[in-house]
Amino acid sequence: MNVEQITKTCHEVNRAFCIGHGDNSQPSWEDAPQWQKESAMNGVSYHIANPDSKPEDFHNSWLAEKEATGWKYGEVKDPEKKEHPCFVPYNELPKEQQAKDALFIAVVRSFEN
């Protein structure tokens, strides 16, 4: 599988996880905005390049990407304002968000040869 196919799988698993926790805000891969697809592809590429990374490393990479593109902390995720409630250190994330990072890594690793 190529990076985009792996990313689509990660996105849909993440979306299903969110739905299971009552969060219906995640669009399908086909309906996701380009910035969201690119962010997810960056996450997959990060894990392919750093196979021993941990969820905290992944979150720190995500934080660095978000900061570089102008995002900041906000109570509610708002792409137009570039605000996100997960713009905090890993140990301050809710357990569901920490689990989401671990799940993303597990999906990427499931495609390793």
Instruction: Tell me the average pLDDT of the chain.
Output: 94
Distances (CA, A) of 72 to 22, 63, 69, 76: 24, 9, 9, 11
Long-range contacts of 74-78 (CB under 8 A, 24+ apart): 77/25
Confidence of residue 112 (pLDDT cuts 50, 70, 90): confident
The answer, yes or no, to whether residue 113 has pLDDT greater than 80, is: no
Confidence of residue 25 (pLDDT cuts 50, 70, 90): confident
pLDDT of residue 72: 97
The answer, yes or no, to whether residue 42 has pLDDT greater than 70, is: yes
